[in-house]
Structure 1
Amino acid sequence: MTMRVLLTSLPAEAHFNTMVPLAWGLQAAGHDVHVAVKPQLVDRVTGAGLVAVPVGSGDEHGGLLGRLGADLVAFYSSIDFTGMRDDSAQQVLSANDVLTGTFYALANDACFIREMAEYVDFWQPDLIIWEQFTFSGAIVGAAKNIPHGRLVWSPDLFYQMRRKVSSALAEQPPWLRDDALGDWLAAAVGKFGREFDEDLLFGQWQIELSPPELRIPSPRQSISARYVPYNGSSVVPEWLRESPSLPRVAVTMGITARGGNYANPVDVEAVVRELAELDVEVIATLGEAEQAEFGPVPDRVRLVDFVPLRALLPTCDAIIHHGGSGTWASALAAGVPQIIVSNLWDNVFRGRQLAELGAGIYLSPAEASPRVVRDKLVPLLTEDRFRAGARRLRDSMRCQPSPADIVPQLEEIAK
């Protein structure tokens, strides 16, 4: 049986990258794979050797983030993505309203959904797989009666948040039970003559890429798979072809934030200068504009615009970063202890979870002065417990089936 599989992702490189190894596994098994994305992501798709299907037009969420920048990020920072706070029902429902209006519905706009549905009518895929916030894939799958599943690339805090939304709604009188996300999904799928159900939120099944220790329990049908790092089209630089003579520390704030009009969670230059006082080698990823403003580069510090983490991290003894899912998971796969500095989105949960499991340290931006970051790095480099914790998670991740190994399960679903 040769399947046609449609993958779809929001126009965020970090989100799309999580899907690439699965796409390769499907293609290697002889299946046809197409990737429906907004035009902004087409070059990334084709650069991964995949067939791109441009649908929709502008990146409305990215544009909003660029315009509002720090103000929107500050509001996002006030939302409890961890599910650990005792927020009131009103706080939970207000967060649901704002996230739907500024992210969920904005990123999955009507044009994106309509053109994807038109392509599905033409190509007739057997499966649709959507990354965890590309609800358009679920809407189109439900509309066209095609099996659809969600690729979950991080601990599933969205499931946890939806449980809190359901509880908050149940506390309201019937005339105040407005679920912004549920109502938007119902309206979107209603245009195709279908009704809302929870598969639009979570998929008919899901593929989980986190190691078991980091997953949030869910009753949803789940397929376990290993996270395989993919960092885009990459070249291993000359300097990375030699083993370091000192402990090597990577510092990165990721690639997603570069397109947004908001600050890093730490002053990267100040942190790097503090680290340079230790007997370590520092590799820091900074955009061209940031490098131009950096000033004299200390000894044993290398500034780069980009380096593939899959090539860099196996040579590192630690990494300091913003907690983004791709960086976090790549460090897990390499067994490298991490310092995460963030107060945004689900990055906080990942940082705290990592600290609880003994594989790293979490700092909020308020406490992460350059000196504190330097002082926290010392035990990360010298105490065996952090290396042991990181390696335990790496080994657990390696025990999961590869993306290619789960293809037979997907074939069964498509029958």
Structure 2
Amino acid sequence: MRVLFASLGTHGHTYPLLPLAAAARDAGHEVTFATGEGFAEVLRAQGFDPIATGIPVFDGFLAALRIRFDTDSPDGLTPDQLSELPQIVFGQVMPQRIFDRLQPVLDRVRPDLVVQEISNYGAGLAATKAGIPTICHGVGRDTPDELTRSIEDEVGRLATQLGIDLPPGRIDAFGNPFLDIFPPSLQEPAFRSRPERYELRPVPFTERPKVPDWVLARTRSRPLVYLTLGTSSGGTVEVLRAAIDGLATLDVDVLVAGGPSLDLAQLGEVPTSVRLESWVSQAALLPHVDLVVHHGGSGTTIGAFGAGVPQLSFPWAGDSFANAQAVAQAEAGDHLPPGGVNAEAVADAAKRLIADESYRTAAKAVAAEIAAMPTPDEVARRLPEFAGRRAA
């Protein structure tokens, strides 16, 4: 059977799909993966056939600036004007570009099933237009907020322009079955009760599953704190520096993962208890840490849940607020509000989360819930069943 996976070209939207794609490959299916060209090498290493169909998010925002304000620069625009851009980027620009690029791919590959990442509306439109059975793959908690509704409204208008009839209700899955990787007890109740929602255990993917030698050599006499602002977040050097300064006052060791968009040299000199790493295998590291301090992204939130580790987040945009709410609901951590991240606040919160064992107990309960969810191999065995259905 031929299966085409399609995601937006970012780590947080591509990596969550790789475990199921690998399970489909191991089950003997022919897997094609359509996403941003920056992931071609990783996908080939996993034995997939990569096809570049997306556009960089930066290019999407540049196009949105031209469409909405006839400019190539955000300089001079008000915060209210800038807030109009995401719905154009993710509801109009990127779906249109992906739709245009994916249509000929579908004609050539002729997949029996499309696995559409939830934010890749262009793939959902293309598969619907082609009449190919499709399932939607989630990447985190449902966020039925104003921005999501605005994006889906834009997608609805685009569908009308393209002559595509959509089923009633939410556009996210285009009326198709949904694979949900978020812990069920922490998912939005209304979303959890939607028809044809299937649970899928989130399995962290890593290119190089290696932990720094100094982490393995530790005696664990002091807690280890993992600090990251993700691969593509709104985290700034100032926020990271404030977190480092706060954590450095505690009797802990700190590992700071810079990510691809941060030059660690910008942080300047750091205390001896703090180690800077330009890249780290988060999946391999998490079992060794006592607290995760992060930006609130879905990948890190779910990863910490799966490892049973308490977390402190700094939500700033998008799904980070919903993720912070889920952590609070689970009593597995805490968060600091935008503008509230300073050294003293970070130190106070981190000290409490490490000292109070109830947070780790709660985190381990969520980890047990995740471990009970169906594995990618189990879900992969059902892919022919999904492919046998008519497209929505």
CA contact (8 A) 2:257 2:277 kept: yes
Instruction: Give the residue type in structure 2 aligned to 1:8.
Output: A
What per-residue deviation string (whole Å, max 9, x for no partner) do you get for residues 165-213 of structure 1? 79xxxxxxxxxxx94331112223x1xxx42334753231110000111
CA contact (8 A) 1:70 1:263 kept: no
SS of 1:293's equivalent? helix
CA contact (8 A) 1:266 1:369 kept: no
CA-CA distance at 1:384 after TM superposition: 1.5
Aligned to 1:7: 5
Q: TM-score, normalised by structure 2?
A: 0.86
> In structure 1, which of residues 167, 176, 180 is the aligned counterpart of residue 154 of structure 2?
180
Q: Provide closer, same or farther for how the CA distance between residues 75 and 392 of structure 1 changes in structure 2, counting only shifts above 3 A.
A: farther
Unaligned residue ranges in structure 1 (runs of 5+): 79-94, 167-177
Instruction: Give the residue type in structure 2 aligned to 1:389.
Output: A
CA contact (8 A) 1:266 1:341 kept: no
Tell me whether 1:304 sits opposite 2:277 in the alignment. Answer: yes
> In structure 2, which of residues 312, 315, 327 is the aligned counterpart of residue 354 of structure 1?
327
Aligned to 1:282: 254
Aligned to 1:392: 365
Tell me whether 1:246 sits opposite 2:222 in the alignment. Answer: yes
CA contact (8 A) 2:87 2:154 kept: yes
What per-residue deviation string (whole Å, max 9, x for no partner) do you get for residues 75-95 of structure 1? 6997xxxxxxxxxxxxxxxx7
State the alpha-carbon separation in 2 of the partners of residues 71 and 356 from structure 1: 40
CA-CA distance at 1:48 after TM superposition: 3.6
Alignment of 1:216-231 (within 5 A): 216=188, 217-218=190-191, 219-231=194-206
> In structure 2, which of residues 150, 164, 173 is the aligned counterpart of residue 202 of structure 1?
173
CA contact (8 A) 1:266 1:365 kept: no
CA-CA distance at 1:252 after TM superposition: 0.5
State the alpha-carbon separation in 1 of the partners of residues 238 and 75 from structure 2: 14
Instruction: Give the residue type in structure 1 aligned to 2:47.
Output: G
State the alpha-carbon separation in 1 of the partners of residues 5 and 81 from structure 2: 28
Instruction: Give the residue type in structure 2 aligned to 1:43.
Output: E
Instruction: Give the residue type in structure 2 aligned to 1:122.
Output: R
Tell me whether 1:61 sits opposite 2:33 in the alignment. Answer: no
The CA RMSD over aligned residues, in Å, is 2.9
SS of 1:102's equivalent? helix
State the alpha-carbon separation in 1 of the partners of residues 115 and 224 from structure 2: 38
> In structure 2, which of residues 118, 132, 151 is the aligned counterpart of residue 146 of structure 1?
132
Tell me whether 1:106 sits opposite 2:80 in the alignment. Answer: no
CA-CA distance at 1:62 after TM superposition: 6.0
CA-CA distance at 1:122 after TM superposition: 1.6
> Percent identity between the aligned chains?
25
CA-CA distance at 1:30 after TM superposition: 1.0
* Runs of 4+ with >4 A deviation: 56-59, 62-78, 160-166
CA-CA distance at 1:143 after TM superposition: 1.3
Tell me whether 1:326 sits opposite 2:326 in the alignment. Answer: no
Q: TM-score, normalised by structure 1?
A: 0.82
State the alpha-carbon separation in 1 of the partners of residues 324 and 225 from structure 2: 18
CA-CA distance at 1:294 after TM superposition: 2.4
Tell me whether 1:134 sits opposite 2:105 in the alignment. Answer: no
Instruction: Give the residue type in structure 1 aligned to 2:60.
Output: H
State the alpha-carbon separation in 2 of the partners of residues 76 and 32 from structure 1: 45
Q: Provide closer, same or farther for how the CA distance between residues 75 and 406 of structure 1 changes in structure 2, counting only shifts above 3 A.
A: farther
